[in-house]
Amino acid sequence: MKTFDYSALAPSYLSILKLLTWIWSAFVMVPVFVLAYFAAENLWYHAAIKAVSCWVLFGVLINAYVKAWYKRYQYALTEQGLVIHRGVFWRQMIVIPRNRIQHTDITTGPLERRKSLAKLIVHTAGTRDAHVTLHGLLESRAAELRKELIVATQDDTV
Amino acid sequence: MSQSFEPHTAFIKLHPSSPLFIFIEAIVKIIFPLVVTFFVSGSYFFQQGWFVAGLALFATIGTVVQYWFYRYWLEPDRIVVKSGILFKELRQVPYERIQNINIKSTVLHKLFKVVTVQIESASGSKPEAVIRVVGLSQLSDIQQAIKNNQTTDPSSAPESSESEQPEEAPLFTMTSGDITRYGCIHWQALVPLAAIFGLAMQSEAMRDQLSSYILSMVFYIRNFTGLHGKLLNGLVLVLMILLAAWLLSMVIAHLKLHGFTLKKERGKLLANMGLLTNLSANIPIKRIQLLRIRESFMHRALGRQTLTMETAGGVTEQTGIVMRWLAPLAKPEQLPPLVQDIEPRIDLNQTQWQPLSHKAKRRLFKKTAAILLTVIALPTFFWRNECAWLLLSAPLWWWYASAWARFAAFAHNEHYVAFRSGVLFRGISLVKINKIQTIHLTESPFDRRNNHGGLWVDTAGSNIALHHINIPYLDKTQLLKMHQQLTRQVSHSQFVW
């Protein structure tokens, strides 16, 4: 039975997260721009300055949070099962015992594929944890984990 | 695949009275909400006669078509259900995967000597099959087929053989006194009453009608009471409505729970209840994921508790027939033997409850105070300063925190984990180790300050809105030790759905 100690997510995943943060926060700024446009008596450049400065401030804050989140996110494979630590303010440690895993999926998005990343989705029979996602794994690590988790010697009698 | 569309054995069609039942179901599920929409919004479409007629025609044709194309057959190891005309569906449910079989029979069913059968597996939020409706001989064929196959399942043997009851001796029956008490506690008549009231409030005409009706009632009452003042007579009216709802609730309870019996047979629980509408459910004991005892302040006043269970599979009251009761109402001393009959390894009398952290009371008080202070501050600032008088309830907050901390406790041994909590509505949840799916440790910023943490476990088919195993305010050292032990236990136990 293969085990490994706590590891962090792939560093390239952090850069994807940061990029995505800037993109979605820009979308959030669209209504801000519209509001600012009417508040600034239809002067578009005033509104644009306000929206862009809001975007930068918001983006920097969210990025700091994302960085802290990434730093705290760790996973390990023990003899008992998959252990995940996550959360910045409200922290969690999730243990998914090997013999409770029903099946696993590996999926990759277009951005993740460019950086050879993948995410592993572990399905259990639970309700809130019907599927637990492990983001930002290197493809090789995801495949290795999946192979290791799937050979659980469970004799299921559903 | 095309091969399997053909039955291996002769297929069985539904009972000829089926369209009637399917039609009633359609009325309840589709047409009733539409009519409600009409009353609320007064939609243009409904003012056109052709729309209503078209809808009725559509529903009638739909039910007949559904009846015509619905067939099922019993194969040696599975039940196969085929339905649909444009979108055909063939569903195969192996007998050993079947979690529950619920059988419903209303007065109308009895008239035609038929039943509605609902078959549930562990997956999805809908039943695997609802056979609406079949004759009694077909029902016994289905039951026999399932029975024959499930008893050959070796994994059910060890659990069921431990305390085999002689057949026909019920584990639990409900006295009619307890059924009346159940109605007393649950106020079920208030739900439709509130719904009617809420509906009437939606449309202006109905609101006016209702308020004038209420006013006339108030005047009518004044003639009897001889009291002056609208408010006083209004209060009498409210009391009368509540009394009527209360009495009606008791009647509803009798209709629903009449003759509630729970039997154990070959590792399965058979529950039967109902006066006009008879519901019988069949639940394999090994499929029970969580046991829950509930006790509200009303329960306590009458010296009773409720025992319910959770099974895998997420059928809710909206999607099918649900059976969650083991004992709708029982004396507290009746429950430990009942639980032990169902799960021989759970002995509630021997459970060693351990308290939470000694700081739990203070922490809960702070949390309650923070929330309530915000709730009080908002109307005080934005509306009226008098709202600040609500601050006088602070001793009540302290009482609540003390009462909560006094009762809250957890238990953990080699067979199960349990947690109890609550003040006005108390709950005790029990989960066997082999039913635990995942284990979570949680830590909020406040937990970190106090060197605390929380633990919750996930089970199949759990309803997070209800009481479950979610233990807060545990001392870190105790928590980590428990977590380590629990992880080891869970990973060494085999999960059986």
Domain assignment of residue A158, yes or no: no
Q: How far apart are CA B377 and CA B112, in angstroms?
A: 62
CB B431 within 8 A of CB A127: no
Which pair of structure tokens corresponds to residue B74? 């019993």
Which pair of structure tokens corresponds to residue A47? 């509104």
User: Residues A83, A126: one domain?
Assistant: yes
Q: In this predicted structure, what is the pLDDT of residue A152?
A: 54
Which pair of structure tokens corresponds to residue B218? 């108030």
Residue of chain B nearest A82, judged by CA positions: B438
Pick from A80, A92, A129: which is nearest to B458 by CB?
A: A129
User: Residues A101, A122: one domain?
Assistant: yes
Dihedral angle of Cα A111, A112, A116, A122, to the nearest 10 degrees: -160
Q: How far apart are CA B431 and CA B418, in angstroms?
A: 6
User: Residues A80, A131: one domain?
Assistant: yes
Q: What is the mean pLDDT of each run of 10 residues along chain B (497 residues)?
A: 49 82 76 65 60 75 80 86 82 82 88 88 76 86 80 44 55 92 88 78 78 83 76 83 90 91 87 88 86 95 94 70 87 94 92 94 95 91 85 94 96 95 96 94 95 94 90 95 94 79
Encode pLDDT of A50-87 as tens digits.
889 989 999 999 999 999 999 999 999 999 999 999 99
ipTM of the complex: 0.87
Q: What share of chain A in percent tops pLDDT 90?
A: 58
Q: In this predicted structure, what is the pLDDT of residue A156?
A: 46
Q: How far apart are CA A139 and CA B342, in angstroms?
A: 47
Residue where a domain terminates, one of A25, A45, A70: A70
Is residue B130 classed as helix, strand or coil in its secondary structure?
strand
Interchain contact A5–B (C-beta under 8 A): no
Interchain contact A3–B (C-beta under 8 A): no
Which pair of structure tokens corresponds to residue B88? 């055909």
CB B210 within 8 A of CB B269: no
Domain assignment of residue A157, yes or no: no
User: Residues A22, A58: one domain?
Assistant: yes
Residue B459, phi then psi, degrees to nearest 5: -130, 165
Which pair of structure tokens corresponds to residue B64? 């007949």
pLDDT of A143 above 80: yes
Q: What is the nearest CA distance from A57 to chain B, expressed in angstroms?
A: 25
Domain assignment of residue A155, yes or no: no
CB B283 within 8 A of CB B267: no
Domain assignment of residue A97, yes or no: yes
Domain boundaries, chain B: 3-152, 190-256
**A window 83-102, beta carbon within 8 A of B:** 87, 89-100
A111, with CB counted inside 10 A (0-12, 13-18, 19+), is middle
Encode pLDDT of B266-281 as tens digits.
888 889 998 888 888 8
Encode pLDDT of A35-46 as tens digits.
888 877 777 888
Q: What is the nearest CA distance from A142 to chain B, expressed in angstroms?
A: 20
Is residue B311 classed as helix, strand or coil in its secondary structure?
strand
CB B365 within 8 A of CB B397: yes
Helices and strands, number each (H, E), in chain B: 17, 21
Q: What is the nearest CA distance from A47 to chain B, expressed in angstroms?
A: 31
Q: Give the residue ranges of DSSP H helices in B3-116.
A: 18-26, 32-41, 44-47, 49-69, 107-112
CB A53 within 8 A of CB A60: no
Domain assignment of residue A156, yes or no: no
Omega before residue B133 within 30° of 0, cis = yes
Which pair of structure tokens corresponds to residue B133? 């409706």
The residues, any chain, with a CB within 8 Å of residue B321's CB and separated by 6 or more, are B102, B104, B116, B118, B127, B279, B281, B315
Residue of chain B nearest A81, judged by CA positions: B491
Q: How far apart are CA B432 and CA B346, in angstroms?
A: 8
Q: In this predicted structure, what is the pLDDT of residue B435?
A: 93
Domain assignment of residue A84, yes or no: yes
CB–CB of A94 and B461 under 8 A? Answer: no
Domain assignment of residue A43, yes or no: yes
H-helix or E-strand containing A145? helix A139-150
Encode pLDDT of A99-123 as tens digits.
899 889 999 989 899 999 999 999 9
User: Residues A63, A83: one domain?
Assistant: no
Instruction: Residue A92: list chain B partners with CB under 8 A.
Output: 440-443
| Crossing angle of the two packed helices B32-41 and B190-202, in degrees rounded to 10 | 40
User: Residues A119, A133: one domain?
Assistant: yes
The residue type at B111: L
Count of all residues that appear for chain A in the document: 158
Pick from A100, A127, A154: which is nearest to B462 by CB?
A: A127
Return the bridge partners of B387, or none: none
For chain B, report the end-to-end CA distance as a whole number of angstroms.
28
CA distances from B339 to B182, B220, B332, B406 (A): 20, 52, 11, 24
User: Residues A87, A106: one domain?
Assistant: yes
Mean pLDDT, all residues of chain A = 88
Residue of chain B nearest A80, judged by CA positions: B491
CA distances from B462 to B64, B79, B141, B309 (A): 37, 27, 32, 10
Q: Which domain holds residue A40?
A: 11-70
The residue type at B61: I
CA distances from B3 to B10, B85, B128, B226, B478 (A): 15, 18, 22, 81, 59
Q: How far apart are CA A80 and CA A152, in angstroms?
A: 10
User: Residues A61, A85: one domain?
Assistant: no
Structural domain count of chain A: 2
Which pair of structure tokens corresponds to residue B469? 């195993």
Count of other CB atoms within 10 angstroms of residue B341: 17
B323, with CB counted inside 10 A (0-12, 13-18, 19+), is buried
In 3D, which of A88, A112, A102, A100 has the Cα closest to residue B123? A102
CB B237 within 8 A of CB B67: no
The residue to which tokens 């308290």 are assigned? B355
Q: How far apart are CA B425 and CA B111, in angstroms?
A: 42
Instruction: Measure the CA angle with vertex B426, ends B425 and B432; round to 5°.
Output: 140
Does this model's pTM top 0.80? My answer is yes
B343, with CB counted inside 10 A (0-12, 13-18, 19+), is buried
User: Residues A46, A83: one domain?
Assistant: no
Which pair of structure tokens corresponds to residue B424? 């006005």
Instruction: Measure the CA angle with vertex A61, ends A57 and A64; round to 5°.
Output: 140
> Beta-strand (E) ranges in chain A?
4-8, 74-77, 81-86, 91-97, 101-107, 117-124, 131-138
CATH of domain B3-152: 2.30.29.30
CB–CB of A90 and B443 under 8 A? Answer: yes
Q: In this predicted structure, what is the pLDDT of residue A89?
A: 95
Q: In this predicted structure, what is the pLDDT of residue B164?
A: 45
Q: In this predicted structure, what is the pLDDT of residue B5?
A: 45
User: Residues A79, A64: one domain?
Assistant: no
Return the bridge partners of B474, or none: B453
User: Residues A87, A107: one domain?
Assistant: yes
User: Residues A141, A86: one domain?
Assistant: yes
In 3D, which of B176, B197, B378, B162 has the Cα closest to residue B286? B162
Residue of chain B nearest A158, judged by CA positions: B497
Categorise residue B258: left if φ over 0, alpha if ψ from -120 to 50, beta otherwise. Answer: beta
CA distances from B131 to B79, B103, B134, B139 (A): 11, 10, 7, 10
Domain assignment of residue A37, yes or no: yes
With cut-offs at 50, 70 and 90, classify the pLDDT of residue A34: confident
Residue of chain A nearest B490, judged by CA positions: A97
